[in-house]
Structure 1
Amino acid sequence: MSVTTSPTDAGLAGSSGPEVPTVVSSWNEWDPLEEVVVGRADGACFDPAEPGYRPQIRGPRAPGETFPVGPKSAETIRRANEELDNLSALLADRGIVVRRPDVVNFDHPLRTPEFDVPTQYCSVCPRDVVITLGRQVLEATMSRRARYFEYLPYRRLIRDYWNRDPRMIWTAAPKPSMADDMYREEFWELTQEERFARMHEFEFCVGQEEPVFDAADMTRMGRDVFVQESMTTNRPGIAWLRRELEPRGLRVHPVHFPLDFFPSHIDCTFVPLRPGLVLTNPDRPIKDEDATFFTKNDWRFLDAPEASSTNDEMPKYCQSSRWLSMNVLSISPDTIICEDSEVGVHRLLRAEGFEVITVPFRNVYEFGGSLHCATWDVRRTGECADYFPHFGPG
């Protein structure tokens, strides 16, 4: 495939001048990783039910059993932290700088003029909350009430990056009201047949009045940023991202996966592995019109194999799908970290020439994600490249 260095690099990176340290710089999902933030499970709570979220127990349940509320058990947190610490040690052994968020107790109610929730959530998944776009660190609006203040465990790190890197741009997106009328609660009552009939409307539990987006609905491929329209990102949210990023030379593209009736975060559906190659979800194919943009630029789609678990075999309180098997972390264009039990993914990636490193991570699944979700890459080597030279129609 044809790859060019973007002519807008200087504008995207900041003004020229005396040499200053590069602390924050990451343009894609695959360049060699130099610094990363890994989440932590301390202080985590179960997801509270709210208009934008309806947590469910997986598999069989006892009569009258309901989804838990309040803090997760000390043992559940210990097991997840053990795996997060193990990942951190592995990355450090590879020469990657690893940083961790502050410890926060999320077992506190949250009340604003528009809403209240009995607890907050956790800081396992920084990828949901914050994203690096070149030299910019962007805090997402978030879409759920319990995650309203989830940026706080990362603020000390962000301030430190900002103080050490005078070219870093720090942006916090406007917080939505999260009032009752921001949501479409009737979404949760639709049958599977009704969802199928409406699949091309792309209307989910969040309405279209206020800009809303989670950072994990975005994936970066050099100059081009792809944003999934979902339960956690709406059309005004994508419009806000366009107005924020396109003046800096980036191009923002909405992408859609019509057969995903509960879309939330793109990194279990559409995962770029290196220039020209995307790991795709066979249950959630990309919309034909969106796929054309990739194929005319010589990108290839690689369907993920069956996951090691069915949806019912996932951890009882995990709210993610079995396609966490796809939630891999690239630490270079030829090296990928995968969850230990997802052997089908290991074989597929090795057949494509990747070095595959495996780590146990299933105890983290209950906290909302896997390896990609639980990390936020702050610095990767490499510049802003244009991987889509055939940008126009035809």
Structure 2
Amino acid sequence: MHKLCVTSETGRLRSVIIGYPDNFHQAPPAIINETQKEYYFGPNCPTRQQVMAELGGFKKALACQGVEVLQPEPLEGVPDQLMTRDIGVVIGDTFVVTQMARESRRDEWLGLLPILNRMRTQRVIKVPDDIVLEGGDVIVDNGRIFVGLSQRTGPDGAAYLASRFPQFEVVPVPLKQLSDGENVLHLDCSFVPVGQRSALIYADGLAEMPAAIAENYDLIEVTKAEQAILATNVLSISPTQVIARPQSSRVNAEMRQRGLEVIELPFDDPPKTGGSFRCCSLPLWRD
């Protein structure tokens, strides 16, 4: 049985489910976000070979840090199982199977069944079918659950978590929409805590700044151009270590100035599907 424990975004990572790349686009993909519209029909379309190589490097880097790395079981007919973050989230000692907005992604969680079946059933809950709640919109950190009100998750998703986890303060974070000129798919495309009390923030992607963010974090501002390459979408493996893309050089330097070790890994093709290191990982256990 796998231990479930996540109470912060930056605690020492012990066990994680990362994306499964080997069946990437073996079935025709559904185009479900603006990033895919940009890349899937041009010469820089992500390839299975490159996705496999980069997920392999990500897996190796995590294992070298002593992290247990798990992956979903491949599902026939599902063209993309890279973004495990969206299909589930661990809150405290409970695994929440989320509910995806797009029909093409609603069966992805079935690839987690071999892992979920080894857990105590009372520690696994599933979001009702009539509520959209995607894991990229959920950040658990030090007694709070931040929930992005985004292109995907709505207020009913935040209300559901508040009803199921009364021991946490649920903080809705309204994000700007495409109609506002901002492409912020999920909360972790605009806000992610790092280190002891810092956070990466693309403030222009927020419709309003919650006091729980403004007053509790040393905010590292991210520009629109940096947000477009998913500079916020990093994965912390401890309070002092974070995995990031080398393209985010200024943001990485800001994190280093705050005492963080930034492990830079090549990761070019997975972001063309809409997510980077955080999106491709689903932590099960953090200290």
Instruction: Give the counterpart letter for 1:254 in structure 2.
Output: P
2:205 & 2:184 partners in 1: Cα distance?
A: 9
1:307 & 1:333 partners in 2: Cα distance?
A: 26
**Paired residue for 2:277, among 331, 348, 371?**
371
1:344 & 1:170 partners in 2: Cα distance?
A: 40
Structure number, greater radius of gyration: 1
TM-score normalised over the length of structure 2: 0.88
Query: Is residue 12–residue 286 contact of structure 2 (8 Å, CA) maintained in 1?
Result: yes
**Paired residue for 1:98, among 66, 69, 92?**
69
TM-score normalised over the length of structure 1: 0.65
Structure 1 residues 242 and 282, CA gap change in structure 2 (3 angstroms) = closer
Query: Is residue 31–residue 333 contact of structure 1 (8 Å, CA) maintained in 2?
Result: yes
Shift of 1:323: 4.0
Query: Is residue 44–residue 105 contact of structure 1 (8 Å, CA) maintained in 2?
Result: no
Instruction: Give the counterpart letter for 1:302 in structure 2.
Output: I
The equivalences for 1:143-292 within 5 A come to 143-162=101-120, 169-176=123-130, 211-246=131-166, 249-258=167-176, 261-285=182-206, 287-288=208-209, 290=210, 292=211
Query: Is residue 338–residue 359 contact of structure 1 (8 Å, CA) maintained in 2?
Result: yes
User: Are 2:101 and 1:123 equivalent residues in the alignment?
Assistant: no
Query: Is residue 279–residue 301 contact of structure 1 (8 Å, CA) maintained in 2?
Result: yes
Shift of 1:138: 0.3
Deviations 1:259-318 (A, max 9, x none): 664442111101111343211014324614x1x23344x43221025656xxxxxxxxxx
Shift of 1:238: 1.7
**Paired residue for 1:132, among 83, 86, 90?**
90
Shift of 1:359: 0.6
Query: Is residue 307–residue 344 contact of structure 1 (8 Å, CA) maintained in 2?
Result: no
User: Are 2:17 and 1:37 equivalent residues in the alignment?
Assistant: yes
Structure 1 residues 22 and 124, CA gap change in structure 2 (3 angstroms) = closer
Instruction: Give the counterpart letter for 1:30 in structure 2.
Output: T
1:362 & 1:136 partners in 2: Cα distance?
A: 32
Instruction: Give the counterpart letter for 1:344 in structure 2.
Output: R
**Paired residue for 1:354, among 251, 260, 284?**
260
Instruction: Give the counterpart letter for 1:335 in structure 2.
Output: Q
Structure 1 residues 67 and 141, CA gap change in structure 2 (3 angstroms) = same
Residue-pair matches, total = 280
2:229 & 2:35 partners in 1: Cα distance?
A: 17
Structure 1 residues 285 and 265, CA gap change in structure 2 (3 angstroms) = closer
Q: Look up the match of 1:294.
A: 213
Deviations 1:346-389 (A, max 9, x none): 211111111111111112112331100001111111xxxxxxxx
Instruction: Give the counterpart letter for 1:299 in structure 2.
Output: Y
Shift of 1:105: 2.8
The percentage of counterpart residues that share the same residue type is 24
SS in structure 1 of the partner of residue 205 of structure 2: coil
Q: Which runs of 5+ in 2 are unaligned?
A: none
Q: Look up the match of 1:58.
A: 38
1:272 & 1:32 partners in 2: Cα distance?
A: 14
SS in structure 2 of the partner of residue 40 of structure 1: coil
Instruction: Give the counterpart letter for 1:231 in structure 2.
Output: Q
Q: Look up the match of 2:4.
A: 24
SS in structure 2 of the partner of residue 102 of structure 1: coil
Query: Is residue 42–residue 104 contact of structure 1 (8 Å, CA) maintained in 2?
Result: no
Q: Look up the match of 1:325.
A: 231
Structure 1 residues 57 and 305, CA gap change in structure 2 (3 angstroms) = closer
